[in-house]
Chain A
Amino acid sequence: MLRFLLRRLFHGVFVVWGVVTAVFFLVRLTGDPAVFLVDQSATRAEIEHARHLLGLDRSLPEQYGAFLLAAPRGDFGESIRSKQPAMRLVLQHLWPATVELAVVAALLSTVLAVPLGVLSATHKDGMADHVSRLGSLLLQSMPGFWLGLLLILLFAVELRGLLPAYGSGTWRHLILPAVALAAAPLAQNARLVRAGMLDVLQQDFVRTARAKGVPERTVLYRHAFKNAAIPFITVTGLSLGFMLSGAIIIETVFAWPGLGRLIVQAVPGRDFPVIQAGVFVFALIFVALNLLVDLLYAVVDPRVRLS
């Protein structure tokens, strides 16, 4: 187990280094951020002066060397747009805004998906199954921004401010964006659980458990669901990773000050330090979540060996 963890951590360091290195060079292929900092009536001399102040007139290997020395200390430089340390900016947007939205949405989408999927599978072709499948189809088909606007119109406008239309800071602010963000993954997870359960419920060990008189609830959640959970865990892990990387559309509709909007603004603005810091954090999140998912495999399926 310890060897497994050490090996995965070692791999993780390589993955993170590879990703940030690729991003370091790729963003520099997209152009020069200095042009964003000057007026449109700027001459080449003014642009050159801005490049000099940003250190972009140094050679690429020189810039990369400085980056490699500073990055392990969490120093990704100063944001070109907002003149703040890039990592501080990324962390300010990650915590609490992005983390609380992602965690609540992930909880909603998993906690509701499991009973819905199980209900749908155990009542295959029945009314509950039809309703669950139709609901899933609807939720998956609805664009997030549209669902978000509908929720705002209903709960903020029609119901005269029952829930806030925008912003963050309290649990009331969290409800609408979390529901809008959880909708599509909830539907996807419910269908995944249903498909997995339908497969597992045909297996001999389920029939045996039932024949032995094991209570149906135990059969479903302890025996069957545990076996159907592997693909569900994988998708949930990835889904949480994507949510923690920022949900740009939901953040935009609800004016949620999360990481997604920060990065999406940084990319067209060629804000290299913020992009690099953001990608570094994303890489860490995905490496950590993948490791967690692998550990969970072993928990739900003892046949998986962590060696």
Chain B
Amino acid sequence: MITRENYEIYAIDYLEGKLDKKLKAEFEKFLEANPDIKEEITGLTQTVLSKETHTFPEKWQLKKSSIESLTYTDELFISDVEGIATQVQKKEIVEITKQYPHLRNEYQAYQATRLEAPTVFYPHKDKLKKTPVEQTIRKVLAYAAVIVLAMTIFTLWQKPDKNIAASLSIPRYETNLLTPAGLTIPEINRPVVVVRKKQEKHTNTTSSKPIKQKTEEVITNISSPKKQQTINIASKEFCINQEITQDIDITFEQNLPLKYQNLILAKNISSTFRRKINKWARERGIIVSRNQFIIRINNKSYGISIAGR
């Protein structure tokens, strides 16, 4: 209850408008009942300072851009171009462009930086498109490639180790081949030619003269009808494994003196293979020169290379 003894407690809150409705009504009732106190309180209200409204002009001039090398107005105008300006920023833009003509021009210049997309047509759309048929063909080709690869591996796997080793070996004189510029063939792609020699039943007519080691080996091979000789033909033009089997009649050579046997045999093999190779190359549209071949018997030259040239 408000009395003359405690009214001052409520007076300040009343003047500052902090009393709740109930207390305010009670306090005003009290003032009505006590005119002297009412007069006193009225006098106090004149000492309360009213709030004045002052606005700092052009706050935007104090603001900083969040992006280095841009001014605040740059950021403001670009935000508008980008469509991300807030309501506050939009108000600022209106004020700025209203008051400052040069900034209005700036704003308009930024509006002009919107890029218009030119009309461009991609010229090869049809090449990019896929058809179901094409998909099927691609699948078939992919399966075919896998099958061919598998068969190739299987075939190589089935070869005797000796032949595989021979096909992978590098002849010592091969580095002297005339190699077309920039053309290299992997070692595994070297063509292999297997020669089966046609043998006569009577091979004991060979000369009884002493023979050198190399010659002996040739004669041994010749006299044994079961043995085969492997001749490798290395060509820089060949890009696939090529195996050619050729029967060669050596009856004539066997009747010659030993020192001529090797050379004549070489010439025989050379001419036989040249025909074979020429036919092989003709069928594939490849032009070969004889310098591109080396014929090798059992990894040794025996002068066959001379004949090959």
Do A and B belong to a common assembly? no
Where the two chains meet, the residues of A that have a C-beta atom closer than 8 Å to any C-beta of B are none
Where the two chains meet, the residues of B that have a C-beta atom closer than 8 Å to any C-beta of A are none
